[in-house]
Amino acid sequence: MSNVIEARGLTKRYGRHTAVDAIDLQIPAGRIVGLIGPNGAGKTSALKAILGLTNFEGELTVLGKDPSRDRAALMEDVCFIADVAVLPRWIRVWQLLEFTENIHPRFSREKFHEYLKFTKITLDHKVKQLSKGMVAQLHLAIVMAIDVKLLVLDEPTLGLDILYRKQFYTNLLNDYFDEQRSIIITTHQVEEVEHILSDLIFIQDGRIALDCTMEVVQERYVELMVSPDAAEAARALKPLFERVLFGRHIFLYENADRAQLKELGELHTPSVADLFVATMTEGAS
Amino acid sequence: MKRLMALIKREYWENKGAFRTTPLIIGGIYIVVFLMGIFTFGYFDNEFHTLKEALRALIEHTDASQRAFGVEIGLMFNSFFFSLVLAFVVFFYLLGSLYDDRKDRSILWWKSLPTSDMLTITSKLLSAMFVVPLIFFAVYVATTVVIWLIGSIVVLVLGENPWTLFLGVANPFKPLGLLLASYLAMAIWALPLYGWLMFVSAIAPRIPLLFALVPPAVFAVLQIWIDFLRTFTLKTNLGGLMWNWLANSPLIMSASGHNGEIGASLGIPITDDFDHAATLGNMLDRLFSTDMLAGLALAAVFLSAALWLRRRATDS
C-alpha cells in the first residue's frame, strides 16, 4: 500500500516567520507515529497543513488527496483531535451523537456507547456542564467510534487523569489500531506513548531532526551508565549527550560499538524523552 | 441532502433561544396584551359603555364586508412586531454565523467532519432565509388562532355570534398567505445584506457588529460630505441607497392608502419606484427588477468572499 502521507518540501510561513521549513515526510499505512518537538517547533502547523486547515507551499498528499482542496472528502477517511477543548459548548451529547451520525458515513453509534460507558457522561449532558477531562473523554469516544484510515491526535490526553490516559492508550492500541490505519500523535507526555509508537519524528525549528522507526532507534542509540571514574574514558568515545544522575554519569551514543561500551559500564536502551533532550540540545548547539 | 438537513438542524439547536423561544415570547405578549385589553374594558363596564354595548354598536355600524376588510388588514399588520424582531434575530444570527465558532475554537471540531465549507455556509444562509421566517410565521399563526379562540369565547359569553362577527366574514388564508409570501420575498430582497453580514462574520477578528456597521457608516458619511461639497445627490449615496432598499422592500411593514383605499403596504410607501400595495404581483415586481439583479450580484460577491475566508479559517 502506498504512503498515507507524502510531503515534499512542505513549507508554511506566517509572514516572515517560517513555521515549517521544507520538510520531506513519508508515512506508510499501519504505523503509529510520534511527532515530537518543543513548543513552537512547527508540529501544529505541519498537522494543520495535513488536515487541510491551512494553505502551504510544497507538495503534500494525504491518502492521495490534496488536503487544501479536498478537505471535506478527505475527512471521510481522516479524523483528528486538534485540541481537546474544542467541542462546541452549547451542544448536548445526544445532539453531537445524532449530528456526527448523520454527517459521518463511518461513525458507529454502538462503539460510541461502548466508550461512553467508561465515563460519567450521559446523553443529556451539555458540553459546558462537563469538566475539561470529561470533554476530552467525550471527544475521544467520538473519534474512536469513527472508522478512518488516518487518525491525528494533537495532545489528546490533556487534562485527563492518569487512569483514563492509560485506559485510552490501551484502547487505542488494542481495539482501534490495525494494519490498515495510521495514527499520528503529538504529546508532551512522551513516556506515556513511547511503548506504543512504531515510528518517531523529532521536529525542531520547522525542520525534521530525526525520522526513523523505533527498531532503528533501538539499534542506533544506546545509553551507557558509568561511575565517575570511568566518565573520562566514556567521554572519549564521543557521546551525543551526557548527564549526571545520582552521581552516575549517563552517556548517549549513536552507532557506537556496544562491546567497547560494555566494558565501561551498564548499557540501556534510551528512553524517547532522553533521546529527545539529547537531539534538541545537539541541534541547538 | 442528509448532510444539509443535519447542518440546518445543528443551526436550530445552537440558536434555539433566538429561533424558537423569541417568537414564542412575542406570541405570549400578544396574548397577554389582548387579555389585558378585554379585562380593562370589563373593569370600566359601569362607568363607560359596556363591552356588550360596544360589540352591538360594532355590529350595527359595520357590515360584513367592512369587517372582512378589517380582519384581513389586521391579520397582515398585526404581524408587525414579529417581523421587526425577526429582522433583529436574523441580523445577529448571521453576524455570529461564521464568527462564534472561530472565537470559541469549535471550528476545529466542525472542520474535522466531512462537510464542505460550501455546504456549511449554505446551511447557515438557508436557515436565515427560510427556517427562521417560517418558525416566526408559524408562531404568529398559532398566536392568532389562540387570540381568535379567546375572542370567540368572549363574544359567545356576551351573547353574540363570533362566526358572523369576524370568524366567518373573511378568508384568513389569503392575508396569511400574502404575509408568508412577503417573508419569503424579503429573504431574497435582503440577500445583499445577508451576504454582507456573513462576509463580516467570516472576516472580523473581534466584535463583528462594529465591523458590520462602522465601515458602511464611515463610507456613507464621507460620501454625504463629498456630495454636499458638490451638489445634493442623495439617491446615489450609500445611506440613500439603503433607505431606498428598506422603503422598497417586499415586506409588509405598514398600512396606508393605495388608490383611495386603506391597505397593508410593502415597505414604506414614500418612494414611487414600485407600487406599495401588498399584492403578490408587487412582490414579484421587486424580485424581477434590475435593482434586485444588482443586489444578487452584490450578494454573490460577499458570499464568495465569505466562502474563501471560511476555507482558510482556523482557530487562530
ipTM for the whole complex: 0.86
Distances (CA, A) of A24 to A9, A149, B37, B237: 6, 21, 77, 55
* 8 Å CB contact of A95 and B115: no
- Identify the band that residue B167 occupies on the pLDDT scale cut at 50, 70 and 90: confident
Closest residue in A to B309 (Cα–Cα)? A54
| Model confidence, pTM | 0.89
- Answer whether residue A284 shows pLDDT above 60: no
A48 inside 8 A of chain B by CB: yes
Q: Name the average pLDDT for chain A.
A: 88
A198 inside 8 A of chain B by CB: no
Of B6, B14, B314, the CB nearest to A102: B6
What confidence score (pLDDT) does residue B235 get?
57
* 8 Å CB contact of B113 and A103: yes
Closest residue in A to B314 (Cα–Cα)? A53
Sheet holding A32-36, edge to edge: A78-81, A150-154, A182-186, A32-36, A199-204, A207-213
Predicted confidence (pLDDT) per residue in B13-51, tens digit: 999 999 999 999 999 999 999 999 888 877 766 555 677
Q: Which of B15, B125, B103 is nearest to B314 (CA)?
A: B103
- Identify the band that residue B314 occupies on the pLDDT scale cut at 50, 70 and 90: confident
CA distance B202 to chain A (A): 15
- Identify the band that residue A268 occupies on the pLDDT scale cut at 50, 70 and 90: confident
Provide the grid cell at B139. Answer: 408562531
Average pLDDT over residues A130-146: 89
A65 inside 8 A of chain B by CB: no
Q: Which of A99, A88, A95, A135 is nearest to A116 (CA)?
A: A135
Average pLDDT over residues A167-182: 84
Closest residue in B to A88 (Cα–Cα)? B106
At B146 the three-state DSSP class reads: helix
Predicted confidence (pLDDT) per residue in B93-112, tens digit: 999 999 999 998 899 999 99
- Answer whether residue A240 shows pLDDT above 80: yes
Of A80, A88, A139, the CB nearest to B104: A88
A72 inside 8 A of chain B by CB: yes
Predicted confidence (pLDDT) per residue in A35-64, tens digit: 998 888 888 889 999 999 888 999 999 999
At B3 the three-state DSSP class reads: helix
* 8 Å CB contact of B109 and A87: yes
Closest residue in A to B101 (Cα–Cα)? A88
What confidence score (pLDDT) does residue B73 get?
85
* 8 Å CB contact of B106 and A53: no
A88 inside 8 A of chain B by CB: yes
Which chain B positions have a beta carbon within 8 Å of A86's beta carbon?
104-109, 315
Can you give the residue ranges of every domain in chain A?
5-205, 219-284
* 8 Å CB contact of A103 and B114: yes
- Identify the band that residue A10 occupies on the pLDDT scale cut at 50, 70 and 90: very high
* 8 Å CB contact of A54 and B314: yes
The CATH class of A5-205 is alpha beta
* 8 Å CB contact of A86 and B6: no
What confidence score (pLDDT) does residue A263 get?
84
Q: Name the average pLDDT for chain B.
A: 89
> Kindly report the CA angle at B186 between B183 and B192, in degrees rounded to 5?
150
Which chain B positions have a beta carbon within 8 Å of A48's beta carbon?
314
Of B6, B13, B107, the CB nearest to A103: B6
Predicted confidence (pLDDT) per residue in B246-302, tens digit: 999 999 887 766 655 667 888 888 888 888 888 899 999 999 999 999 999 999 999
What confidence score (pLDDT) does residue A84 get?
67
Distances (CA, A) of B271 to B163, B182, B234, B268, B281: 39, 18, 14, 8, 18
Q: Which of A44, A86, A152 is the mutation pick for testing B, counting most B CBs within 10 A?
A: A86
Number of Cβ within 10 Å of residue A40's Cβ equals 12
Cβ atoms of B253 and B86 within 8 Å: the answer is no
In b/e form, how buried is each residue of A69-81, taking b as 16+ CB within 10 angstroms?
eebbebbbbbbbb
CA distance A102 to chain B (A): 6
What confidence score (pLDDT) does residue A114 get?
92
What confidence score (pLDDT) does residue B92 get?
97
What confidence score (pLDDT) does residue B270 get?
82
Predicted confidence (pLDDT) per residue in B135-146, tens digit: 999 999 999 999
The residues near B312 (Cβ < 8 Å, ≥ 6 apart) are: A54, A55
* 8 Å CB contact of A83 and B108: yes
